[in-house]
Every structure is written in structure tokens, then in C-alpha cells.
Structure 1
Amino acid sequence: MAAAAAASPARASWRPVIPATSAYATRSCFRVGAKRFAGLQTTCTCLHQATRLTAAHVKSGEAEGRPSTESAAAGTPDEESLRRELETAIQEEDYARAAALRDELRVLQEDGRSAVLAANTRFYTAFKNGDLVAMHQAWAKGDHVYVVHPSAGRISGYEMVMQSWEMVCDADYEFPLQIDLQDVEVHVRGDVGYVTCLELVRTKGSSSWGKQVATNVFEKVDGKWFMCIHHASHFDE
């Protein structure tokens, strides 16, 4: 998180449409000009259409890492099926069965939260170290993924998102960054999970921390969690 915080101030000056200003420069930890992101703003799709999370169970596992609606493999319990079984057991007043299902559901949810937090850690470790290989591995593949760097527009599609991170890692500062994550919350529903947190980021030689509020959305593909959305915005106290 500390790395993210340090990186987001720099990302403040990356907005592709609006040139970097002196105001942004004073808040930026990274010396990255807005022009470097020219051409990466590839979509103007309304954000609410892309980021809506429904309560329906989403299964992942297609070749490109996109969500599918296929049922879980036979014999593998999933959250929605357990919820349905629990409701049925309660309606039938089979309380012993309901208690067992409740415990199984709790374990599944705890495992899901731990796995999403681990995926979140992989992302920030790649960010902190400027590790492009690890960053590529942290993201889901497909046109549905996108990133919003602080004070910049939306960049959509796996290839374009990776190009934006290549620019970040190619910026004129030393790695590793210092990243501290605060107020971390994780929520999981089926094969979709998200983490909200406050990023505090500082580059080497800097005495100040950049602060961003971040939302990271993950999807499970073939049993592993991958980032599909990273949205960071400046936080002014």
C-alpha cells in the first residue's frame, strides 16, 4: 500500500487529456508527464456500467479470464449453492444440517477473503518493486479489465493497462517504493471480490507521502484470483 500511495501522487500528472500543471507537480511523487499517456485513453464507456457488481454468483475460467456463468465443477461447493442449501435446511427445520452448512459457508468465505487479500498483496508487491513480470501475472486477461490512475482517465483492455504500468515502472525514480496500506477492507461474493484501502506511497529521497483511496476488484479464474480493476483517486485531508 505504501508503494501505491507513493505511486499515486505521481500518477496525478498522467491524465491524458489535461496537461500536467504546477499544482499537480507539487503533489506528484513521480516525474511523469501527462503526454506519456497520450493514446491510452481508449474508451468513454460510462463507469457505472463497467463496475457494477451484482449479487448473482459469477463463475470464471474462460481462456481469456472473463467471467462466465457456468456452474461450479461437480462436487465443488460454491457460495451460492451453499446459501441455497442453507435456506432449504432452515425451511425444512433441519437445524443440524443448517448449522453444518453455516459453518461450511463461513470457512468458504474466510478462505475467499484470505485469497483475495493475497492477490491484493501480489499486486502491491509488483507495484512496489516495479516488477513488470509480476504485474502482468497479477492481472486477468481480456478487454474487460481497466485501470484509473490518480487524476487520469480510464484505460481499458489488458494490453493498454499493461502499457500504462510499463510507463509507471519506466518512470524516472528508484525502486522499491515505500507503500503502506491503511483502512483495508475486503469483501467477497462468489468468484468476485474487492478490496478498498488508503494507499500511502513515497519514493526514495522524498519526505512526503502521496495518499490515494483505492478500489481493487478481483475475479477468480481457474481457482486463482486476478485483478480486473484498479481505481486510485487522490485523498486530501
Structure 2
Amino acid sequence: MPKPKLPPGTPDDTEAAFYEALQHGDIDRLMACWADEDDIVCVHPGGPRLIGHEAIRTTFEAMFANGSVMAAPEKLHRHDDGHCAVHSVVERVAVLTDDGPQHAFVVATNVYVKTPRGWRMVAHHASPGSRVEPPEIAATRPVLH
């Protein structure tokens, strides 16, 4: 079995490889984007916190059993200090409904660290989806917990 293609050398490259793997339902390429550490974290919209490769892989395999995930990152906001990069994105997710294709929007945070193998994801946290595209800047005061 050939090794999955690893993302090239920047956090943007790793992010592009992650979303491409989602869109193709390719679990091996998707997992190649994650760091090797056991404490990697993933939170799917409305789901529990998943820690570790096995838990994360299992949930993505279940998602891919129903087909690929047509999510594309938009409105990227970056913070990069050279060793850690945090990307806040709005995911545009294509959803098939009885009325035809629709879009949902998910606000997600992706965290990457520079490892000996290059930039790898250590956290993906996605909010529950909305049919309404979120504004770039909140027009009202946010409600804090």
C-alpha cells in the first residue's frame, strides 16, 4: 500500500491537504495531516471532544462511509509565530437537500505546529453549522459564557 501524500512545507499547505482529503473522502491523506502526538484534538460540530489518533480516525471513517465532506475554507484569519499557527476559517459546506444543493456555514479553528515532519494539525474545532453565512465582524456584542 503506498504511503499517503504528505502536505508540503507551510501551515497553508497542510490546511489545503486536509480539506482536499475531506473532499475526496481519503482517510489516509487526512490523517497524514495530523501530528504524531497522542494528544491531538478534534471537535466536530455539536460533537464531543475527541483526543488521539484512533478516536479522530474513527469519526472521520464514519463520516466518509456516507461519502466525502464537501467543505471548503473561506475567510481565513491567521496567526503564525513560526512554530505554531492558528487559522480561523469559515467552512462552506455543500449539503444536498430535497430542494437541491444548499450551503451551510461552520466556523472552525485549525491549529498547526511545526514538527520534524513539517507542519501538522494538532487541533480542529468546528462550531455547529448555520444556513446563514456569519458576518466578518460581529455586529452585536457577543454573549460570553
Please indicate the TM-score interval, normalised by the length of the shorter structure.
Answer: 0.7 to 0.9
Aligned equivalents of 1:134, 1:184: Cα separation in 2: 22
Unaligned runs of 5+ in 2: 1-8, 133-145
Aligned residues of 2:22 and 2:70 also touching (Cα < 8 A):
no
Query: Where in structure 2 are the equivalents of 1:1-237 lying within 5 Å?
Result: 115-171=10-66, 173=67, 175=68, 177-203=69-95, 206-222=100-116, 224-236=118-130, 237=132
Q: Which has the higher contact order (CA 8 A, sep 6+)?
A: 1
Indicate the structure (1 or 2) with the bigger Cα radius of gyration.
1
| Letter of the 1:191 counterpart | H
SS at match of 1:208: strand
Aligned-residue sequence identity (percent) comes to 26
Aligned equivalents of 1:162, 1:141: Cα separation in 2: 13
**TM-score normalised to the size of structure 1?**
0.47
Aligned residues of 1:116 and 1:186 also touching (Cα < 8 A):
no
**TM-score normalised to the size of structure 2?**
0.75
Aligned equivalents of 1:153, 1:162: Cα separation in 2: 14
Provide the alpha-carbon RMSD of the alignment.
1.9
After superposition, the C-alpha distances for 1:32-86 in whole angstroms (9 at most, x for unaligned) are xxxxxxxxxxxxxxxxxxxxxxxxxxxxxxxxxxxxxxxxxxxxxxxxxxxxxxx
Aligned residues of 1:193 and 1:219 also touching (Cα < 8 A):
yes
Aligned equivalents of 2:10, 2:89: Cα separation in 1: 16
Aligned residues of 1:140 and 1:158 also touching (Cα < 8 A):
no
Runs of 4+, deviation exceeding 6 Å: none
Alignment length, in residue pairs?
Answer: 121
Aligned equivalents of 1:185, 1:203: Cα separation in 2: 24
Higher helix share: 1
Query: Deviation of residue 169 (structure 1)?
Result: 1.0
Aligned residues of 1:145 and 1:228 also touching (Cα < 8 A):
yes
Query: Deviation of residue 223 (structure 1)?
Result: 5.3
SS at match of 1:184: strand
| Letter of the 2:16 counterpart | T
Query: Deviation of residue 136 (structure 1)?
Result: 1.5
Query: Deviation of residue 191 (structure 1)?
Result: 1.2
